[in-house]
Amino acid sequence: TRRIVVTGSASGIGRATAELLRERGDEVIGVDLRDADIAADLSTPEGRVAAAAAVAARCPDGIDAVVACAGLSGVTPLLVRVNYFGVTELLTALRPLLAKSAEPRAVVIGSISGTMPHDAELVEACLAGDEQLAVKLAQAAVDRGEPRRLYPSSKAALARWIRRTAIAPGWADAGIPLNAVAPGNVLTPMMLPILDDPAMKKVMDQAVPMPLNGYAKPEVLARALTWLVSPENSHITGQTIYVDGGAEATTRGDGV
Ligand code: NAD
């Protein structure tokens, strides 16, 4: 039995992933604000420390994988805290527990949004690990009436962090693949209200065209995530894998 920590396990992609892993016989330790094995608020440094400590108390012999799905959409500075620091700081805190596994793996959820226009200064503040500055820049963007780049910025920063960290000491050299899965539009409680609004749906369909099979169900993402944290994935690391029905290929074409 593999022991796998899934954040955001109470809803959407995290919930579907936790269900699939359990069906396959793995032990899942779900982390979420509520309705989870470990209730924790990943938007704060204290919440992340408490979550990591609770995982360590439950699994003193280590964990085999982390699937980081907790995230927020919208136009609030809080999403920088959850989507970037809530993922990177928790993974950093859990790395020693992963290193105890014979076949450790980690994966996070990025987004097609990470390829869209973002705020370079905010991305740099994230990558520098400066949460205070990142939140200040995010608040300034909200105050200027330009909050729409916050979500793409949080996901662009995350994709770059994965790329750097996957080959940093303690990861590849410790046998830990670290990747991101980037969805297009997925039918979860995060996205359903947006797609229910005809004007918003039109904007999303234009920004995220999905010629292959349309919107994805959360189970589709769960299958990619579970494979990336399975022992079968021995050599993919530092990558963002687009599970997006062709959205990235359509919007970026040959220009990658
Ligand atoms: P969701 O809202 O259904 O699930 C997100 C979960 O994260 C919820 O259970 C929520 O409680 C948890 N969460 C939020 N803030 C938290 C916090 N501070 N501490 C702990 N847990 C917290 O959304 P989803 O669509 O399943 O999203 C999962 C991930 O996928 C997110 O990172 C999201 O950005 C990403 N994503 C989703 C889509 C989509 O179309 N749904 C597209 C691209 C990327």
Q: Which of 190, 215, 243 to mutate to test the pocket of ligand 1 (most atoms within 8 A of CB)?
A: 190
The mean pLDDT value of the chain amounts to 97
* Cα dihedral 116, 120, 123, 127 sign: positive
The answer to whether position 250 is within a domain reads no
Give pLDDT, residue 252.
95
Report the SS3 class of residue 182. strand
Residue 251 lies in a domain: no
Task: Report d(CA 39, CA 50) in Å as an integer.
Answer: 9
Taking alpha carbons only, the member of 162, 155, 156, 160 closest to residue 177 is: 162
Specify the DSSP class assigned to residue 82.
I
What pLDDT was estimated at residue 128? 98
Does 91 reside within a domain?
yes
The arithmetic mean of pLDDT across residues 227-234, rounded, is: 98
For 208, list phi and psi in degrees, rounded to 5: -130, 75
Residue 127 scores a pLDDT above 90: yes
Number of independent structural domains in the chain: 1
231-243 pLDDT, tens digit each:
999 999 999 999 9
Q: Could you report the per-residue pLDDT of 141-152, keeping only the tens digit for each? A: 999 998 999 999
Query: Two tokens at 31?
Result: 């982390």
Does residue 255 lie in a domain region? Answer: no
Whether 84 is catalytic:
no
For residue 27, the SS3 value is: strand
CA atoms within 13 A on the CB side of 25: 2
Name the percent of the chain lying above pLDDT 70. 100
Count other C-beta atoms under 10 Å from residue 11's C-beta: 17
- Domain annotation covers residue 156: yes
Q: Beta-strand (E) ranges in the chain?
A: 3-7, 27-32, 38-39, 65-68, 105-109, 178-183, 240-243
The dihedral through the CA atoms of 180, 185, 186, 190 has a sign that is positive
Residue 114: which pLDDT band, with cuts at 50, 70 and 90?
very high
Q: Supply the pLDDT for residue 255.
A: 76
pLDDT band for 26, please (50, 70, 90 cuts): very high
Pocket mutation for ligand 1, best pick of 69, 79, 108, 220 (most atoms within 8 Å of C-beta):
69
Residue 254 lies in a domain: no
Q: Which residues pair with residue 66 across a beta bridge?
A: 5, 106
Q: What is the pLDDT of residue 234?
A: 98
- Residue 256 included in any domain: no
Q: Is the pLDDT of residue 256 over 80?
A: no
How far from each other are the two terminal CA atoms of the chain, in whole angstroms? Answer: 39
Condensed to tens digits (0 to 9), the pLDDT of residues 68-100 reads 999 999 999 999 999 999 999 999 999 999 999
Which pair of structure tokens corresponds to residue 157?
């920063």
Q: What is the dihedral of CA 179, 100, 1, 103, to 10 degrees?
A: 50
Is the CB of residue 79 less than 8 Å from the CB of residue 73?
A: yes
Residue 101 lies in a domain: yes
Cα 193 to averaged position of ligand 1 atoms, centre (Å): 14
Tokens of 196: 């229910």
Q: Range of 205's domain?
A: 3-242
Host H or E run for residue 201: helix 198-207
Question: At which residue do the structure tokens 């740099």 appear?
Answer: 124
For the whole model, what pTM was predicted?
0.98
pLDDT of residue 136: 98
CATH number at residue 17: 3.40.50.720
- The pLDDT tens digits for 32-64 are 999 999 999 999 999 999 999 999 999 999 999
Q: Which residues contact ligand 1 via a Cβ below 6 A?
A: 8, 10-14, 32-33, 41-43, 69-73, 82-83, 86, 109, 111, 183, 185-186, 188-191
